Amino acid sequence: MGKSARPVEAVIFDFGGVISVSFSRDLARFEADLGYPPGALLALLFGEGTLAGNPRGGDPTDGAAGADTSAVTHDWHRLEVGELTLHDYLLDVIDRAPEVLGEPIGMDAYARFVAEMPIGVHWPVVHAVRDLQARGYTLALLTNNVREFGDTWRDTFPVDELFPVVVDSSAVGLRKPDPRIYELTCARIGLAPEVCVFIDDNLDNVEAARALGMEAIRFGDDPWAVLAELEAILTRRPRT
Protein backbone atom coordinates (compact mmCIF):
# COMPACT_ATOMS: atom_id res chain seq x y z
CA MET A 1 0.00 0.00 0.00
CA GLY A 2 1.51 3.36 -1.05
CA LYS A 3 2.16 6.22 1.29
CA SER A 4 -0.81 8.26 0.03
CA ALA A 5 -3.12 5.25 0.41
CA ARG A 6 -2.31 4.52 4.05
CA PRO A 7 -5.45 4.21 6.17
CA VAL A 8 -6.63 7.38 7.85
CA GLU A 9 -6.25 7.11 11.61
CA ALA A 10 -7.02 10.67 12.77
CA VAL A 11 -9.07 13.72 11.83
CA ILE A 12 -7.91 17.15 13.01
CA PHE A 13 -10.43 20.01 13.06
CA ASP A 14 -10.06 23.77 13.16
CA PHE A 15 -12.44 25.63 15.48
CA GLY A 16 -13.25 29.07 14.02
CA GLY A 17 -15.07 28.75 10.72
CA VAL A 18 -15.29 24.94 10.96
CA ILE A 19 -16.80 24.01 14.32
CA SER A 20 -18.00 27.56 14.85
CA VAL A 21 -19.57 29.89 12.30
CA SER A 22 -17.24 32.68 11.16
CA PHE A 23 -18.15 35.99 12.78
CA SER A 24 -16.63 38.14 10.02
CA ARG A 25 -19.95 38.93 8.36
CA ASP A 26 -21.48 39.98 11.70
CA LEU A 27 -18.51 42.27 12.25
CA ALA A 28 -18.97 43.78 8.79
CA ARG A 29 -22.61 44.56 9.60
CA PHE A 30 -21.54 46.21 12.86
CA GLU A 31 -18.97 48.21 10.89
CA ALA A 32 -21.66 49.42 8.48
CA ASP A 33 -24.04 50.28 11.34
CA LEU A 34 -21.42 52.60 12.84
CA GLY A 35 -20.62 54.16 9.46
CA TYR A 36 -16.98 53.09 9.29
CA PRO A 37 -15.38 52.71 5.84
CA PRO A 38 -15.94 49.18 4.43
CA GLY A 39 -13.23 46.83 5.67
CA ALA A 40 -11.72 49.41 8.02
CA LEU A 41 -12.77 47.74 11.26
CA LEU A 42 -11.53 44.33 10.11
CA ALA A 43 -8.24 45.94 9.09
CA LEU A 44 -7.94 47.71 12.46
CA LEU A 45 -8.62 44.59 14.50
CA PHE A 46 -6.96 41.91 12.40
CA GLY A 47 -4.77 43.52 9.77
CA GLU A 48 -6.22 41.37 7.00
CA GLY A 49 -8.83 43.60 5.34
CA THR A 50 -12.27 42.39 4.44
CA LEU A 51 -13.28 38.78 4.01
CA ALA A 52 -14.08 39.42 0.37
CA GLY A 53 -10.66 40.99 -0.08
CA ASN A 54 -8.79 38.10 1.49
CA PRO A 55 -7.42 36.19 -1.53
CA ARG A 56 -6.52 33.19 0.62
CA GLY A 57 -10.09 32.83 1.84
CA GLY A 58 -11.52 31.75 5.16
CA ASP A 59 -11.42 33.63 8.41
CA PRO A 60 -9.53 36.92 7.86
CA THR A 61 -7.98 36.60 11.33
CA ASP A 62 -6.28 33.37 10.31
CA GLY A 63 -3.56 32.30 7.91
CA ALA A 64 -0.10 33.57 7.13
CA ALA A 65 1.03 37.12 7.78
CA GLY A 66 3.24 36.93 4.68
CA ALA A 67 5.53 34.58 2.84
CA ASP A 68 7.05 33.39 6.12
CA THR A 69 4.41 31.07 7.59
CA SER A 70 6.03 31.26 11.02
CA ALA A 71 6.00 35.09 11.09
CA VAL A 72 4.00 36.83 13.80
CA THR A 73 3.69 40.47 12.81
CA HIS A 74 0.24 41.89 13.47
CA ASP A 75 -0.86 42.47 17.07
CA TRP A 76 -3.77 40.03 16.63
CA HIS A 77 -1.31 37.30 15.74
CA ARG A 78 0.83 38.25 18.74
CA LEU A 79 -2.32 37.94 20.85
CA GLU A 80 -2.95 34.47 19.38
CA VAL A 81 0.48 33.21 20.46
CA GLY A 82 0.27 34.75 23.92
CA GLU A 83 2.79 37.55 23.36
CA LEU A 84 0.15 40.19 24.18
CA THR A 85 -2.65 40.30 26.72
CA LEU A 86 -6.12 41.15 25.47
CA HIS A 87 -5.96 44.34 27.58
CA ASP A 88 -2.79 45.57 25.85
CA TYR A 89 -4.14 44.58 22.45
CA LEU A 90 -7.30 46.65 22.95
CA LEU A 91 -5.29 49.66 24.15
CA ASP A 92 -3.36 49.54 20.89
CA VAL A 93 -6.61 49.23 18.91
CA ILE A 94 -7.86 52.42 20.57
CA ASP A 95 -4.60 54.22 19.74
CA ARG A 96 -4.65 53.18 16.06
CA ALA A 97 -8.37 53.66 15.47
CA PRO A 98 -8.41 57.33 14.37
CA GLU A 99 -5.85 56.65 11.64
CA VAL A 100 -7.65 53.54 10.30
CA LEU A 101 -11.31 54.46 10.90
CA GLY A 102 -11.05 58.21 10.50
CA GLU A 103 -12.40 58.67 14.03
CA PRO A 104 -12.03 57.13 17.50
CA ILE A 105 -13.53 53.68 17.85
CA GLY A 106 -16.79 53.51 19.79
CA MET A 107 -15.57 51.04 22.41
CA ASP A 108 -18.85 51.05 24.35
CA ALA A 109 -20.77 50.04 21.23
CA TYR A 110 -18.10 47.50 20.31
CA ALA A 111 -18.17 45.99 23.81
CA ARG A 112 -21.97 45.63 23.60
CA PHE A 113 -21.66 44.03 20.16
CA VAL A 114 -19.11 41.47 21.42
CA ALA A 115 -21.16 40.72 24.54
CA GLU A 116 -24.38 40.22 22.59
CA MET A 117 -22.95 38.36 19.58
CA PRO A 118 -23.64 34.64 19.92
CA ILE A 119 -21.05 32.14 18.75
CA GLY A 120 -22.80 30.11 16.08
CA VAL A 121 -21.95 26.41 15.85
CA HIS A 122 -22.01 24.14 12.82
CA TRP A 123 -23.91 21.38 14.64
CA PRO A 124 -23.72 18.93 11.70
CA VAL A 125 -19.93 19.09 12.11
CA VAL A 126 -20.17 18.48 15.86
CA HIS A 127 -22.42 15.46 15.27
CA ALA A 128 -19.95 14.19 12.66
CA VAL A 129 -17.13 14.47 15.21
CA ARG A 130 -19.16 12.40 17.66
CA ASP A 131 -19.73 9.79 14.94
CA LEU A 132 -16.00 9.67 14.14
CA GLN A 133 -15.31 9.16 17.83
CA ALA A 134 -17.72 6.22 17.93
CA ARG A 135 -16.00 4.73 14.89
CA GLY A 136 -12.65 4.76 16.65
CA TYR A 137 -10.87 7.60 14.90
CA THR A 138 -8.35 9.68 16.82
CA LEU A 139 -9.54 13.28 17.06
CA ALA A 140 -7.81 16.58 17.71
CA LEU A 141 -8.76 20.24 17.66
CA LEU A 142 -6.14 22.68 16.33
CA THR A 143 -7.12 26.32 16.80
CA ASN A 144 -5.61 29.78 16.53
CA ASN A 145 -7.21 31.40 19.54
CA VAL A 146 -6.89 33.92 22.36
CA ARG A 147 -6.17 32.94 25.95
CA GLU A 148 -8.81 35.27 27.39
CA PHE A 149 -11.48 33.78 25.09
CA GLY A 150 -10.93 30.23 26.35
CA ASP A 151 -13.90 29.92 28.68
CA THR A 152 -16.25 31.45 26.11
CA TRP A 153 -15.48 29.27 23.11
CA ARG A 154 -15.12 26.10 25.19
CA ASP A 155 -18.65 26.62 26.47
CA THR A 156 -20.14 26.52 22.96
CA PHE A 157 -19.93 22.71 22.52
CA PRO A 158 -18.55 19.70 24.47
CA VAL A 159 -14.88 20.25 23.59
CA ASP A 160 -13.20 17.94 26.08
CA GLU A 161 -15.78 15.20 25.61
CA LEU A 162 -15.09 15.03 21.88
CA PHE A 163 -11.43 16.01 21.57
CA PRO A 164 -8.83 14.26 23.73
CA VAL A 165 -6.20 16.58 22.22
CA VAL A 166 -6.73 20.34 21.96
CA VAL A 167 -3.86 22.46 20.65
CA ASP A 168 -4.57 26.15 21.25
CA SER A 169 -2.13 28.64 19.73
CA SER A 170 -2.25 30.90 22.77
CA ALA A 171 -1.22 28.02 25.04
CA VAL A 172 1.64 26.67 22.90
CA GLY A 173 3.09 29.93 21.51
CA LEU A 174 2.65 28.89 17.87
CA ARG A 175 -0.07 29.57 15.32
CA LYS A 176 -1.20 28.10 12.03
CA PRO A 177 0.17 27.98 9.37
CA ASP A 178 3.52 27.54 11.14
CA PRO A 179 4.47 23.90 10.40
CA ARG A 180 5.61 23.44 13.98
CA ILE A 181 2.08 23.63 15.37
CA TYR A 182 0.94 20.83 13.05
CA GLU A 183 3.96 18.76 14.06
CA LEU A 184 3.14 19.38 17.71
CA THR A 185 -0.45 18.26 17.17
CA CYS A 186 0.69 15.04 15.47
CA ALA A 187 3.16 14.40 18.27
CA ARG A 188 0.42 14.80 20.88
CA ILE A 189 -1.86 12.30 19.15
CA GLY A 190 1.09 10.00 18.47
CA LEU A 191 0.52 9.66 14.73
CA ALA A 192 2.35 10.64 11.55
CA PRO A 193 0.92 13.47 9.41
CA GLU A 194 0.42 10.99 6.55
CA VAL A 195 -2.39 9.21 8.39
CA CYS A 196 -4.22 12.41 9.36
CA VAL A 197 -6.93 14.44 7.65
CA PHE A 198 -7.04 18.15 8.49
CA ILE A 199 -10.05 20.48 8.03
CA ASP A 200 -9.71 24.27 8.04
CA ASP A 201 -11.44 27.20 6.32
CA ASN A 202 -8.23 29.10 5.51
CA LEU A 203 -6.23 28.13 2.43
CA ASP A 204 -2.86 29.02 4.00
CA ASN A 205 -3.58 26.61 6.83
CA VAL A 206 -4.79 23.87 4.49
CA GLU A 207 -1.74 24.16 2.26
CA ALA A 208 0.59 24.03 5.26
CA ALA A 209 -1.02 20.77 6.37
CA ARG A 210 -0.68 19.29 2.89
CA ALA A 211 2.99 20.28 2.76
CA LEU A 212 3.56 18.10 5.83
CA GLY A 213 1.85 15.11 4.22
CA MET A 214 -1.67 15.42 5.59
CA GLU A 215 -4.71 15.08 3.40
CA ALA A 216 -6.55 18.36 3.94
CA ILE A 217 -10.00 19.77 3.21
CA ARG A 218 -10.85 23.43 2.74
CA PHE A 219 -14.07 24.24 4.62
CA GLY A 220 -16.40 26.43 2.57
CA ASP A 221 -19.95 27.64 3.05
CA ASP A 222 -21.60 24.21 3.05
CA PRO A 223 -20.84 21.95 6.05
CA TRP A 224 -22.59 19.02 4.39
CA ALA A 225 -20.32 19.22 1.34
CA VAL A 226 -17.24 19.18 3.56
CA LEU A 227 -18.52 16.21 5.54
CA ALA A 228 -19.22 14.35 2.29
CA GLU A 229 -15.67 15.06 1.13
CA LEU A 230 -14.32 13.78 4.44
CA GLU A 231 -16.39 10.61 4.20
CA ALA A 232 -15.12 10.03 0.66
CA ILE A 233 -11.54 10.20 1.93
CA LEU A 234 -12.27 7.80 4.78
CA THR A 235 -13.91 5.40 2.32
CA ARG A 236 -10.94 5.61 -0.04
CA ARG A 237 -8.46 5.11 2.80
CA PRO A 238 -10.30 2.75 5.18
CA ARG A 239 -8.95 1.64 8.53
CA THR A 240 -8.21 -2.10 8.68
Pair 144, 178 in one domain: yes
Pair 40, 90 in one domain: yes
* pLDDT the model gives residue 2: 41
* pLDDT the model gives residue 15: 95
Pair 96, 143 in one domain: no
Pair 81, 124 in one domain: no
Q: Which residues contact 40 (CB under 8 A, 6 or more apart)?
A: 31, 100, 101, 102
Pair 43, 9 in one domain: no
Domain boundary among 85, 116, 147: 116
Report the alpha-carbon distance of residue 238 to residue 231 in Å, rounded: 10
Pair 214, 96 in one domain: no
Domain boundary among 83, 116, 149: 116
* pLDDT the model gives residue 116: 65
Pair 157, 176 in one domain: yes
Pair 80, 191 in one domain: no
Q: For the chain, how many structural domains are there in total?
A: 2
**94: domain range?**
24-116
Pair 102, 65 in one domain: yes
Query: Residue 165 maps to which CATH number?
Result: 3.40.50.1000
pTM here?
Answer: 0.88
Domain boundary among 89, 116, 143: 116
- From first to last of its 240 residues, the chain has per-residue pLDDT tens of 344 579 999 999 999 999 998 776 677 778 888 888 888 888 888 875 444 445 555 555 666 655 556 667 788 889 999 999 999 999 998 998 998 888 888 778 777 777 666 678 999 999 999 999 999 999 999 999 999 988 889 999 999 999 999 999 999 999 999 999 999 999 999 999 999 999 999 999 999 999 999 999 999 889 999 999 999 999 999 987
Report the alpha-carbon distance of residue 197 to residue 138 in Å, rounded: 10
Report the alpha-carbon distance of residue 81 to residue 83 in Å, rounded: 6
